[in-house]
Amino acid sequence: MLRPPVEFTQYTSLAFSQKLIDHGINGSIGRVGTAHDNALMESTIALFKTELINPRRSWRSRQEIETATVAYIAWFNQRRLHSAIDYHSPMQYEAEYHQTQDLLRQAA
């Protein structure tokens, strides 16, 4: 038997929707409470908890969590190796992309 969703308004606020628009992100929000309700956000939060929050088990303060979160996000967005981009870091992949685009422009 399927249970009803715990939070009927999860991630459907106007402020959240505006942030998605401001950053050019397409929300994955369908009807509230469906299986497709914001899968991208939920998988990102789950990854964050799995890789940073849960292994530590004990945090001394909110400040310690905030500092660790900033470091994690910097690593995640800049230095982590990702299989979808041939085990390059996002920064390395972007630099190579721009270098290729520059070479193509010079050749044209």
Q: Which of 89, 62, 54 is nearest to 74 (CA)?
A: 89
- Report how far Cα 61 is from the mean position of its chain's Cα atoms: 24
pLDDT tens-digit map of 4-63? 555 554 545 677 778 878 888 776 655 555 555 566 677 888 888 999 988 887 899 999
pTM beyond 0.75: the answer is: no
DSSP string, the chain: -PPPPS-TTTT--HHHHHHHHHTT------STTSTTTTHHHHHHHHHHIIIIIHHH---S-HHHHHHHHHHHHHHHHHT--BGGGTTB-HHHHHHHHHHHHHHHHHH-
pLDDT tens-digit map of 70-85? 999 999 888 999 898 9
